[in-house]
Structure 1
Amino acid sequence: MEKFYNILALVGVGLYWFLVAGVTLRVVLKRRAVSVSLAWLMIIYIIPVLGVIFYFLFGELNLGKKRAERAKQMFSPYGEWFDQLHDCQAHLPALMSPQITKIDDLCNHRMSIPALCGNDLSLQRSPNEILRSIIQDIDQAENHIRAVFYIWHNGGLVDAVSSALIQAAKRGVTVRILLDSAGSHRFFKSHWIKMMEQEGIDITQALEVSPWRIFLRRLDLRQHRKIIVIDDKVAYTGSMNMVDPAFFKQNAGVGQWVDVMVRITGPTVNVIAAIHAWDWEVETGDRIMPSFPECIIPSQEKALPIQVVPSGPGMPENLIQQVLTLAINQATKSVCITTPYFVPSDELLEEFKMTAQRGVIVEIIIPKNNDSLMVQWASRSYYDELLNAGIKIYEFDGGLLHTKSVVVDGLYCLVGTVNIDMRSLWLNFELTLAVDNEDFTAEMVELLDSYKALSTVVKKEKWKKRSMRYRFLERVFYLFSPLL
């Protein structure tokens, strides 16, 4: 009997090491950042058995068989829809700055999405302003409302938004809402779901979290876009989930979340609606394409070119990181970045450092206190490199700074849902806008200046005096930074 157990143990060890060798080979053969591969190899070797399971769950970009097949089939018809925008009179490369033209070229060649002119933008900074504006536009809806959010959380003015949607549905407006299953899990358990569905509102869970699906697709792949489109005439996107900060994560110890949204009218609205249609079809299989934009340009003075940059599984890989790199690389005077989660890829980190080292003022504004301790310590592990390159770091004291933006030379900007971390850049469904307009960018500069006024500058000399315990925690979480 003892001999049997010894043989069984040897067979078990042999099978385990065979499995580890197989997973190691799979990690090595995948063409991705070396730091990501090394982080996974460390986890696989340090955490027996569980490390292998974690890799199968979270190690590869697996959208799931049905969604992946849909996305593959969708690329051609959506590409044709986007391609028609080139014949629209709102596509006016001659009215674009050289910087945005290069971004337009990149997005054109990779996804056939051109930058379009003839838009109006409104930068909305406070939760009350944002939510009341959305309610007012919902109350004016006549045909349909499309929405996709990572988090939809009951309480405060969000309940008023839900009520407005119910009233819209009662008067015959078609309402389709796509919500991330993990981010909005509490909302799916609330009484609002039944009330909204009773009035015919179509609410769908994106990337449903289920124990039966754990090996069928990557579990931490999330629908992170924030979009609402009304009658294909008005759209909102930005960093704010459908939450009222006064009623959201009050016990997290980080203060209220600080966000912005952009209200858009003009032909870019239809492009954003097409991104919602893409997400809806990936999840449900139903194709509901938006109307084609009218593309009327009132005057060249109101050109306001906007490039819509989406990313996610099934879309061109690495597009948003390429746009970020291209925008920063063109800076001649200044770059100011806001992000709640700063865990950059090796490529972006080097781009930030090189930009500062060629004499451009580079500033990064991040929250002093973060709702993710792992991300907070991982972020701080980059401070030495950034400070040594001459980059100025601001730690925001006025709450959890959740705004995601990049302002370049005070002339144009990027604003949207994208964090400076591997999850946003490589994994999640995201959306950012590249805005080529000095007036709008001046508003962004003013906003970022207000963030700086509520921040503490990280001093190089003081930072070097931090304790060994802090240094140890930074290094530990730095090892996992490619996976955060």
Structure 2
Amino acid sequence: MDKVYHFLTLAGIGLYWVLVAGVTLRVVLKRRAVSVSLAWLMVIYIIPVVGVLCYFMFGELNLGRKRAERARVMFQPFGDWFHQLNDCKAHTQDGLGTHISKIDNLCNNRMGIPALCGNTLQLHTTPDSSLRSVINDIEQAKHSIRMVFYIWHPGGLADSVAAALIQAAKRGVAVKVLLDSAGSPTFFRSHWAKMMRGAGIELVEGLEVSPWRIFLRRLDLRQHRKIIAIDDEVAYTGSMNMVDPAFFKQNSGVGQWIDIMVRIEGPTVNVLSAIHCWDWEVETGDRTLPVHPDCQIDIPQDSKPIQVVPSGPGMPDQLIGQVLTLAMHQAERSVTITTPYFVPSADLLETLKTTAQRGVTVDLIIPKHNDSLMVQWASRAFYSELLNAGVKIHEFDGGLLHTKSVVIDELFCLVGTVNMDMRSLWLNFEVTLAVEDPIFTEQMNQLQHSYMLHSEIIDSAQWQQRSLYHRFFERLFYLFNPLL
């Protein structure tokens, strides 16, 4: 019997090391950032068995066979739809300024999406303003409502939005709602999900979380976009999930979430609607492309362009990351960034440092208290390097600052769903707007400065005096930063 146990032990050890060797070879042969590969090798070797399982679950960008095949087949028809926007009067090279023209070239060449003029923007900076505006537009809807969100959490004005959708469906409006499975479990268990489906709303649980799918699809791949499109005439996007912060994560110890939403009218609405249609087809297989915008409209000379920049599996790799890098390289005077989760890639870190080192004022505003302790420690591991390069770091102490925004030279801005971490820039379904509108950008600039007034700026000399305890945990979670 002892010989049998001895044999099984040796066989198990041998099998495990063959498995480790195979996974190591796979990690090494994958073409990706060296820091990511090293981080995974560290996890695999330091945490026996569990490390290998983690790699199978989270190590590769695996959308799943069925969704991946849909995305492959979809790319051409959606690409044709996007390319036709280049013939629209809303896309004119004469209307593109210095900052957005290069971004237009990049997005047009990689995805076929051009920057479009003729839009009007409204910035909502409070949850009450955002949600009441959404409710009002839903109540005016005549034909269609499309929504996609990472989180929908019942309570407060979020319930009023759900009630408005039910009433819209009852009067004949076609309502399609796509919610991420991991982000919205409370909503799918609530009575609202049953009531909405009972009213005829098509409610879909995106990227369903299931233990049976562990080896079929990467479980932490999430639908992180926030889009509302109503009658292809009005759209919303921004950082805010479908939640009322007064009823959301009240026991997390970080305060209420601070978010923005942007209300849009004009040709860009149709593009955001098409992004929703893309997500809907990836998840369900059903294709319902929106109409093209009215291309015979006269575009005012002072109507500045908007570039919609989507990213995610099936779309061009790292498109939003490229736009972010390109925007910062064009900065001449200032770059101001707000992000709740700051765990940059090596390339993004170097871009930030280089921008500051060439004399551009770089302000980074992040929350002092984060709902992810690992991210909070990992973020601080970059402070010394950034401070030495001349970047000013502001820790916001008025709640969980969840706004994702970049303002360049107080003339151009990026707003959307994208965090400055590997997950957003490489993995999730995301969307951002590149906006070259002086009035809107000035509003964003003023908002960012209001965040700074409620922040504590990190003093470089004092930061160097922090305890060994803090340094240890910073370095520990820094090692895992490509995986956060």
Shorter chain as denominator, the TM-score bin is over 0.9
| Pairwise CA distance, 1:2 | 1.5
Any conservation in 2 of the 1:117–1:297 contact (CA below 8 Å)?
A: no
Task: Give 1:457's aligned residue.
Answer: 457
| Pairwise CA distance, 1:214 | 1.0
Any conservation in 2 of the 1:119–1:302 contact (CA below 8 Å)?
A: no
Any conservation in 1 of the 2:39–2:482 contact (CA below 8 Å)?
A: yes
Any conservation in 1 of the 2:95–2:301 contact (CA below 8 Å)?
A: no
| Pairwise CA distance, 1:297 | 4.6
Task: Give 2:214's aligned residue.
Answer: 214
- The one-letter code matched in structure 2 to 1:443 is Q
Q: Structure 2 matches for 1:119-198, cutoff 5 A?
A: 119-198=119-198
Any conservation in 2 of the 1:419–1:425 contact (CA below 8 Å)?
A: yes
Task: Give 1:14's aligned residue.
Answer: 14
Q: Structure 2 matches for 1:309-324, cutoff 5 A?
A: 309-324=309-324
| 2:4 alignment partner, SS class | helix
- Could you list the per-position Cα deviations for residues 103-130 of structure 1 after superposition, in whole angstroms to 9, with x for gaps in the alignment? 0000000000000000000011000000
Q: Give, in whole Å, the separation in 1 of the partners of 2:51 and 2:152.
A: 33
| Pairwise CA distance, 1:271 | 0.3
Q: Tell me whether 6-15 or 406-415 shows the greater mean CA deviation.
A: 6-15
Task: Give 1:203's aligned residue.
Answer: 203
Q: Give, in whole Å, the separation in 1 of the partners of 2:140 and 2:252.
A: 36
Task: Give 2:92's aligned residue.
Answer: 92
Q: Give the percent of matched residue pairs that are identical in Structure 1 and Structure 2.
A: 70
- The one-letter code matched in structure 2 to 1:356 is A
Task: Give 1:255's aligned residue.
Answer: 255
Task: Give 2:290's aligned residue.
Answer: 290
Task: Give 1:58's aligned residue.
Answer: 58
Any conservation in 2 of the 1:380–1:474 contact (CA below 8 Å)?
A: yes
| Pairwise CA distance, 1:304 | 1.8
Task: Give 2:48's aligned residue.
Answer: 48
Task: Give 1:418's aligned residue.
Answer: 418
| Pairwise CA distance, 1:301 | 3.3
User: Please, what TM-score do these two structures have when normalized by structure 1?
Assistant: 0.99
- The one-letter code matched in structure 2 to 1:238 is G
| Pairwise CA distance, 1:298 | 4.3
| Pairwise CA distance, 1:219 | 0.2
Any conservation in 1 of the 2:89–2:299 contact (CA below 8 Å)?
A: no
Task: Give 1:305's aligned residue.
Answer: 305
| Pairwise CA distance, 1:295 | 3.2
| Pairwise CA distance, 1:299 | 4.4
Q: Give, in whole Å, the separation in 2 of the partners of 1:297 and 1:142.
A: 22
Q: Structure 2 matches for 1:394-409, cutoff 5 A?
A: 394-409=394-409
User: Please, what TM-score do these two structures have when normalized by structure 2?
Assistant: 0.99
Q: Give, in whole Å, the separation in 1 of the partners of 2:197 and 2:475.
A: 48
Task: Give 1:236's aligned residue.
Answer: 236
- The one-letter code matched in structure 2 to 1:198 is G
Task: Give 1:377's aligned residue.
Answer: 377
- Could you list the per-position Cα deviations for residues 311-353 of structure 1 after superposition, in whole angstroms to 9, with x for gaps in the alignment? 0000000101000000000000000000000000000000000
| 2:350 alignment partner, SS class | helix
- The one-letter code matched in structure 2 to 1:23 is V
Q: Give, in whole Å, the separation in 1 of the partners of 2:62 and 2:462.
A: 44
| Pairwise CA distance, 1:132 | 0.2
Q: Give, in whole Å, the separation in 2 of the partners of 1:260 and 1:297.
A: 29
Q: Structure 2 matches for 1:335-346, cutoff 5 A?
A: 335-346=335-346
Q: Give, in whole Å, the separation in 2 of the partners of 1:455 and 1:54.
A: 37
Task: Give 1:268's aligned residue.
Answer: 268
Q: Give, in whole Å, the separation in 1 of the partners of 2:123 and 2:298.
A: 21
Task: Give 1:388's aligned residue.
Answer: 388
Any conservation in 2 of the 1:313–1:428 contact (CA below 8 Å)?
A: yes
Displacement over 6 Å in runs of 4+: none
Q: Give, in whole Å, the separation in 2 of the partners of 1:440 and 1:7.
A: 71
Q: Tell me whether 290-299 or 348-357 shows the greater mean CA deviation.
A: 290-299
- Cα root mean square deviation, aligned: 0.7
Any conservation in 2 of the 1:95–1:300 contact (CA below 8 Å)?
A: no
| Pairwise CA distance, 1:302 | 3.7
Any conservation in 2 of the 1:150–1:180 contact (CA below 8 Å)?
A: yes
Task: Give 2:477's aligned residue.
Answer: 477
- Could you tell me which runs of 5 or more consecutive residues in structure 1 were left unpaired when the two chains were aligned: none
| Pairwise CA distance, 1:306 | 0.2
- Could you list the per-position Cα deviations for residues 426-477 of structure 1 after superposition, in whole angstroms to 9, with x for gaps in the alignment? 0000000000111110000000010000000000011111100000000000
| Pairwise CA distance, 1:13 | 0.7
- The one-letter code matched in structure 1 to 2:131 is L
Q: Give, in whole Å, the separation in 2 of the partners of 1:225 and 1:296.
A: 30
| Pairwise CA distance, 1:303 | 1.9
Q: Structure 2 vs 1, CA of residues 342 and 101 (structure 1 numbering), >3 Å: closer, same or farther?
A: same
Any conservation in 1 of the 2:405–2:413 contact (CA below 8 Å)?
A: yes
Q: Give, in whole Å, the separation in 1 of the partners of 2:298 and 2:405.
A: 28
- The one-letter code matched in structure 1 to 2:444 is M
- Could you list the per-position Cα deviations for residues 174-225 of structure 1 after superposition, in whole angstroms to 9, with x for gaps in the alignment? 0000000000011000000111111100000110001111110000000000
Task: Give 2:30's aligned residue.
Answer: 30
Any conservation in 1 of the 2:146–2:177 contact (CA below 8 Å)?
A: yes
The question of 1:432 aligning with 2:432 is answered yes
| Pairwise CA distance, 1:98 | 1.7
- Could you tell me which runs of 5 or more consecutive residues in structure 2 were left unpaired when the two chains were aligned: none
Q: Give, in whole Å, the separation in 1 of the partners of 2:296 and 2:352.
A: 39
Task: Give 1:368's aligned residue.
Answer: 368
Task: Give 2:334's aligned residue.
Answer: 334
| 2:254 alignment partner, SS class | coil
| Pairwise CA distance, 1:94 | 1.1
The question of 1:246 aligning with 2:214 is answered no
Q: Structure 2 vs 1, CA of residues 192 and 41 (structure 1 numbering), >3 Å: closer, same or farther?
A: same
Q: Give, in whole Å, the separation in 2 of the partners of 1:296 and 1:457.
A: 50
| 1:182 alignment partner, SS class | coil
| 1:364 alignment partner, SS class | strand
- The one-letter code matched in structure 1 to 2:275 is I
Q: Give, in whole Å, the separation in 2 of the partners of 1:398 and 1:67.
A: 40
| 1:301 alignment partner, SS class | coil
Any conservation in 2 of the 1:44–1:50 contact (CA below 8 Å)?
A: yes
| Pairwise CA distance, 1:300 | 3.0
| Pairwise CA distance, 1:381 | 0.3
